[in-house]
A and B are shown apart, each in its own frame.
Chain A
């Protein structure tokens, strides 16, 4: 809806990006000299141990944090303008559903705020709820749903206003492995049907390798990118069994090496 009309393939472009938090105990470097591009239609995972700045980077894209050095553009504009243009949907670690709203009203929240008309709103809710397979649960309140379903509802909410960019901050981190596998394959299908650009933060190697077209390995203190891996797995259809193929295991090994390298550097 609010893209730059295909002017460039680059959705996010960071150059020499740094962010230092000033705390009572002194400065904490969350990001240092991050150079990274995310192209339209890519599924990019950010992986690294806690404190590596992966969530911070996502929050900088979303204009929830301000970088202290370097430049970043989102859709060719500043993150602030991108946010004001409502050009991304953000999925948080927790579902952050409003407990007093039913599922459909939670999905309607951004639509209400952005001033969509009644009929348009209904159609968009229906579409978003279908995309995350929550049909039949529209009238339920969040507490009546399982954790996985709540997180799906929060994804529907992020999809409802059709932003081209989806920012996901460990959306499945709190879920058990079985539910997570299921949601991973659903997310891939969703990505294929909606053709969105997805930036996905995780600390699970299999999740990162399974989902991504590009894996960004990060290391802590100071948060920096140690490796950018282009996935050799097929784009689009990826059955869960792909995780047993040598190709998959090779990628996973490279991610693990990257993580280990980042750590030995530190300790």
Chain B
């Protein structure tokens, strides 16, 4: 009991409970006007409050679906049909996951390569960084359709355009982090390598790279979460290929609010799982590198 109170479980549960309660209250408030209209059409008058509340929780296309409606949609979406069926949320999550991982991989690689150039080359140091920062000030929502449509025009569709958008977002935290990370070695450590007459490659492999591993993982945690956002935004620009973004899009076309919320939660859960996986990778690396537990 003491462990429970001392840990994070109880506070987190209390906050969760508060959110769910608030959500139900808001569901009643926001769905009430439409329910009034419906009841008016059906000539139902003086509906008791409890019954009215239940009515607002069971609409087909509510303004705000109740939590249990969303949970139900997630459940049937994940387990209600074969994983290969286009109705399956798992199917769409898989498509988004593929683009996310590919884009994350490319983005991390690009970020590391750019950081290495910036740290080792004076000209890159002065010329690249402003452009890298400028790249992130352009709204991705504006760029994504251009990439998807543009590449589609030359016959590149499906995974690649979405992965490119993920890459565009995820290289940024990696390059910013790794520029700092590769510069963490102290002068005394660099002097030491100089007394050994170590080559620049040796200095990189034996000093700069291992010194920057903690920052690499921190950057990758940010990078993988925004990779998922990039993939979803890419899917919003083209509803042909499937994916969680497409579910969001078709949901909003058809007023399928429950579907939108279900896709939204799946995307959030996916991001959380990916960040946790990167965190495990970090722990593994820490153990190998003797970081104090």
Contacts and interface: CB of A to CB of B under 8 A. Distances in A.
Interface of A: 62-64, 83-84, 86, 88-90, 92-94, 96, 98-102, 109-110, 112-114, 141, 143
Contacts of A110: 196
Interface stretch (B24-32, B132-140, B143-151, B184-192): B184-192
Nearest to A100: B289
B292 interface: yes
28 contacts: A62-B195, A64-B191, A64-B194, A83-B194, A83-B195, A83-B197, A84-B197, A90-B192, A90-B195, A92-B192, A94-B188, A96-B186, A96-B188, A96-B189, A98-B206, A98-B210, A99-B289, A99-B291, A100-B213, A100-B289, A100-B290, A101-B290, A102-B290, A110-B196, A113-B193, A113-B196, A113-B206, A114-B196
B102 to A, nearest CB: 30
Nearest to A109: B206
B44 to A, nearest CB: 71
A92 B289 CA distance: 23
A102 B194 CA distance: 21
Interface string B267-293: 000000000000000000000011110
Contacts of A114: 196
Interface of B: 186, 188-189, 191-198, 202, 206-207, 210-211, 213, 289-292
B290 A141 contact: yes
Given A84-B197, A113-B193, 6 more contacts: A64-B191, A64-B195, A96-B189, A101-B290, A112-B206, A143-B292
Given A88-B195, A90-B192, A143-B292, A98 B207 contact: yes
Top 6 closest pairs, chain A to chain B, by CB: A141-B290, A100-B289, A90-B195, A96-B188, A113-B196, A113-B198
Contacts of A98: 189, 206-207, 210-211
A109 B193 CA distance: 9
Nearest to B289: A100
Contacts of B192: 90, 92, 96
A90 B196 CA distance: 9
Contact of A100 (B186, B193, B210): B210
Contacts, number: 56
Q: What DSSP secondary structure best describes chain A's contact surface?
A: loop
Contacts of B186: 96
A235 B132 CA distance: 63
A98 B207 CA distance: 8
A113 B202 contact: yes
A193 to B, nearest CB: 23
Contacts of A64: 191, 194-195
Contacts of A63: 194
Contacts of A112: 206
A107 to B, nearest CB: 13
B176 to A, nearest CB: 22
Contacts of B195: 62, 64, 83, 88-90
A99 to B, nearest CB: 7
Nearest to A111: B196
A73 B290 CA distance: 41
A73 B45 CA distance: 105
A62 B188 CA distance: 13
Contacts of B198: 113
A94 B192 CA distance: 11
A253 B211 CA distance: 46
Contacts of A62: 195
A152 B194 CA distance: 21
A86 B188 contact: no
Nearest to B192: A96
B105 to A, nearest CB: 24
A95 to B, nearest CB: 9
Given A92-B191, A98-B207, A113-B202, A86 B197 contact: yes
Nearest to A140: B290
B286 to A, nearest CB: 9
A62 B191 CA distance: 10
A99 B207 CA distance: 10
Contacts of B213: 100
Nearest to A88: B195
A152 to B, nearest CB: 16
Contacts of B211: 98, 100
Among B197, B202, B210, the one with the most A-chain Cβ atoms within 10 Å of its Cβ is B197
Contacts of B191: 64, 90, 92
Among A62, A94, A98, A102, the one with the most B-chain Cβ atoms within 10 Å of its Cβ is A98
A143 B194 CA distance: 24
A86 B290 contact: no
Contacts of A94: 188
A143 B289 CA distance: 12
